[in-house]
Amino acid sequence: MPSKPNSKSQFELLFGFDYNDIKSWPKLVNLMNRPEDPSALALFRILFGFIMMLDIPYERGMSEADVEFGDPKQCDFPLFDFLRPLAPEWMVIIYGIMFFGALGIMLGFKYRWSCFCFLIPYWYFFFLDKTTWNNHSYLYGLFGFMLLFMDANRYWSIDGLIDKSIRDAHVPLWNYALLRFQVFLVYFIAGLKKTELDWVKGYSMGNLGSHWVFDPFKTFLTTDQITLFIVHGGGLFIDLFVGYMLFFDKTRLLGTLISSSFHIMNSRMFNIGMFPYTMLATTTLFYSADWPKVLMNKFGLVKPIYDENGKFLINKLSEHCIYEKSKSENKKESPKRQSLYHKIFTILSLLYIAEQCFLPYSHFITKGYNNWTNGLYGYSWDMMIHSWHTQHIKIHFVDKKTNQTHFINPKAWTMRRRWSSHGDMMYQYSKCIQKRLSEYGFNDIELYFDIWRSMNHRFNQRQIDPRVDMTKVEWSPFKKVDWLIPLMTDLSDWRGKMKEIEDQYIKNKTDYDLTFVADLKGLKLENYVSPFLNSSVEVLNGEIQVEIELKEKRGKKQNITLQVGDKLTLPSGTYHSVYTTSEQPSCFFYIYVNETALVLSDWFDNFSKNMFSQYNNTIIDLKKDLNEASLNGSYETELIWKAYNQTLIENSKNFYEMIARNNSNQEQNLEQDVKNVLNYLNEKKLNRTMIYTNFVNEFYTKFNDKIVKSKYSFAYKNYRKLLSVFIRFKQSFSMLYYAIRSVLFKENFSKVVNTELFNF
């Protein structure tokens, strides 16, 4: 049995160290290099290496490297301009090196070299493409960087099997302290960022409360209340306080329960790769360093030998730790005094902590990366606090030789969209477009971007001045980008009014579409209205002038001035322009109505009512079957009724399409086609019984199929995910084989992959 530990002060019981341990530099060095059990650190090493092995073919993109890097004309967005992708076969080989580095980390084999093999390719890929940055990708790189300097191979490692001198040897406290601090910082700064009004007022995550993971709350809260109180309020509370809860002994179990539930729910709601599972793995770091041994001891897997402090006895002391005299006497190899190693790593640990506290708030230095948000997304822990809606991106250039205007697809020479959110990447993209256009003979051009976007349910507004020639702009990481248009934060309070207007129009009519717009004086918005839509514009603030084309007088236009409260019906099938003429920003909204869809919706309602009245007994029997079904829990019952309603809608649409195909004139417009169908249903009474009979028969077939799928949907989705991971692994290693073969035998990598892997 372990002996009772020495009496400890209340401060030491609370924080794990005594206040006197940090009162002087020598004592702080002793504390940071205090010996700790290696088992919990080893478990994190194993979990992290395994998770990275899953992440590399999936989110890092190894399985798609041939497509990602196969186009030499592709525009790149590196952090440093000297970084460029290599040939695709070499990029795949670099991915392979990174993967085997992660494998070595997991196994603890040639540990330092494995960390290098993982870390260098990882940061190379990270810095190579800013458009893929996110917080968890940055966090993985930080974990890899810290593990490089830590003694995480002292337990459960192949290195330990080979070298007995390091097997089950102590590790210094700073190994645990840095990892715990980093995880705490991820939570806490994310919580601080969530104190901004957009998050507190519930605008950041939209209608996330409708997701099925919140179904238990739907028995006593509305969807809007769940979004505000559970999603936003709960998210703020968890991020601010769960780090503290994990740190202190008395709240650690509760903190583990809360954080684990939080990350499991996130894994269901968001496509964020392995991040939730990585954070679940970090939870193990906050428990006692020897907890894996304690757990194994309960199952009889280890023989317990305790020291005088009640901890598992470790006879192999480490030169990286500082021991008390009673511990190290008669052991010449065990240090009793501070060495240069101990002081250097204490200093480096403190510098790392200071840098990580400063970097998320360093945007006043790197002004060139600021736009509507501060800095590039991915290293500030501002997770999920900004939701974006891109309304419109227009790129055009003017050939100065001919004075002709040409338009460019916003996806030209890139598969990314995030370039349109940041000034630095807009600048890089403009230079790339110039270079590509010069290859087609356009050497003297003017290039213009017009980007419309909404952040956190505000008005759609321009993000860049459309009058600025991008071939002449300058950019510096340390200077404010003056050709970007700031976010109109003074219009944020309009969001409540916008929600009221949306509810007014869309409450029971899903075929209305509203677009809210804000613009500045002197700027023009050009818009096109589809011939299938009835559209109008209404002014909320300021003054606008609408220029419309007159269909009856081709080439002639009419200007109409609108002020607050004015509304104008717009001609369909043509362009119009909106000029802001007021000094203050103009605020207006478009109302798009699909009249044909409304007619269809009414027809679906009538058809359903007729089906119910015609086959009342059938429906009663169906409801009886539902009530008698062996279902456990309200969630399953809700799934069944959801399947019932979905099947009803789907069948109505299917029968409409069948009738429309058989009884409409293809030369007529869609609205007339709908009228023909309605007349057909009303006049062909002899066929109505046949239609209803077929409707019910097909309804039962589809309904039963949906019941089966709803019962097994969770397992089926996870099966599909596992299958997807397997396919990506297979594809990744097939490409690695072809890449090595291409390098060794001078083969065309792309041709080999397309021929042998994809059979093109």
What residues act catalytically? 194
> Residue 625, Cβ neighbours under 10 Å: how many?
12
Residues 6+ apart with CB under 8 A from 502: 514
Which strand (E) or helix (H) includes residue 119?
Answer: helix 111-128
Q: Coil, strand or helix: which one is 311?
A: coil
| Amino acid, single-letter form, for residue 68 | E
Count each helix (H run) and each strand (E run) in the chain, helices first: 25, 14
DSSP state of 464: B
The number of C-alpha atoms within 13 Å of 394 and in the hemisphere containing its C-beta is 15
Handedness of CA 333, 336, 337, 338 (dihedral sign): positive
- Backbone phi and psi for residue 515, each to the nearest 5 degrees, phi listed first: -130, 120
SS3 percent helix, strand, coil of the chain, rounded to 5, is 55, 10, 35
Q: Tokens 């997991």 appear where? A: 106
Q: Which residues contact 422 (CB under 8 A, 6 or more apart)?
A: 130, 369, 371, 376
d(CA 377, CA 360) in angstroms, rounded, equals: 10
Question: Strand, helix or coil at 381?
Answer: coil
Length of the chain in terms of residues written: 760
CA pair distance 70, 604, nearest whole angstrom: 49
How many whole angstroms separate alpha carbon 78 and alpha carbon 402? 34
Query: Is residue 597 a contact partner of residue 511, using CB atoms and an 8 Å limit?
Result: yes
CB atoms near residue 488 (< 10 Å): 18
Residues 638 and 711: beta-carbon distance below 8 Å: no
Residue 115's SS3 state is: helix
CA distances from 41 to 138, 289, 319 (A): 21, 7, 18
Q: Which amino acid is at 105?
A: I
Sign of the Cα pseudo-torsion (437, 441, 443, 445, in order): negative
Euclidean distance between CA atoms 729 and 63, whole angstroms:
7
Secondary structure (H, E, C), 159-202: HHHHCCCCCCCCEEHHHHHHHHHHHHHHHHHHHHHCCCHHHHCC
The two three-digit tokens of residue 680, written as one number: 């057909």
